[in-house]
Amino acid sequence: MNFFRLKGKENDDGACLVWKCPQCEVVKRYHLISGGIQITVVGLGIAGSESFVYDLRCATCKYDLRVPAKELPIVEQCRELTSQLAYGQLSAEAYGAKIKELPARFIKELLALTQEWKCTTCGEENPITFDACWSCQSKQKKAPTLEVSDDAQPLPGFKTHTNPWDV
């Protein structure tokens, strides 16, 4: 018998978002995955020891994007918008615009990982977190207004909205 043990479980709470996957590089469904861990001692669960984490997971490649518990109501808004898209009540363009308007960190991070802008000087595609073209160093005409965590940047460790090749 184990004296001390961690029990883990994972629940798929269904599709709640349709967006480009940073790993698959095509539009995919994301499911909300809730996971819990509980500490047990001599087979008995310790009250208050259960901890939950939430992720959006690509249905194809299993790419995970962490969702803070405080943003779960926004995930439900995503689920409602995704349902409207599925039933033809929203066009793909309207769906994308409404998702981008949601005030969630996980949306901003997903945008930072998947959106690009085209350089008007040389035509190269650049990550949205760059304010200058990686190829010709021309400044972007309209600077992005995303606030993203360092982990969501294409090259962690570099400040957001800067060209990492500029020294």
**In a shared domain, residues 142 and 92:** no
Q: What's the pLDDT at 25?
A: 85
Taking 80 as the threshold, does the pLDDT of residue 108 lie above it?
yes
**In a shared domain, residues 96 and 140:** no
Structural domain includes residue 140:
yes
Structure tokens at 8: 């883990």
> Total domain count for the chain?
2
Q: What's the pLDDT at 10?
A: 86
Question: What is the rounded distance in angstroms from the CA atom of residue 133 to the CA atom of residue 120?
Answer: 9
Q: What's the pLDDT at 148?
A: 45
Closest listed residue to residue 108, CA positions, set 66, 157, 52: 66
**In a shared domain, residues 123 and 58:** no
Structural domain includes residue 76:
yes
**In a shared domain, residues 95 and 146:** no
End-to-end CA distance of the chain: 59
Taking 60 as the threshold, does the pLDDT of residue 138 lie above it?
yes
pLDDT in tens, 52-78: 889 999 999 999 999 999 999 999 999
Please tell me the pTM assigned to this model.
0.65
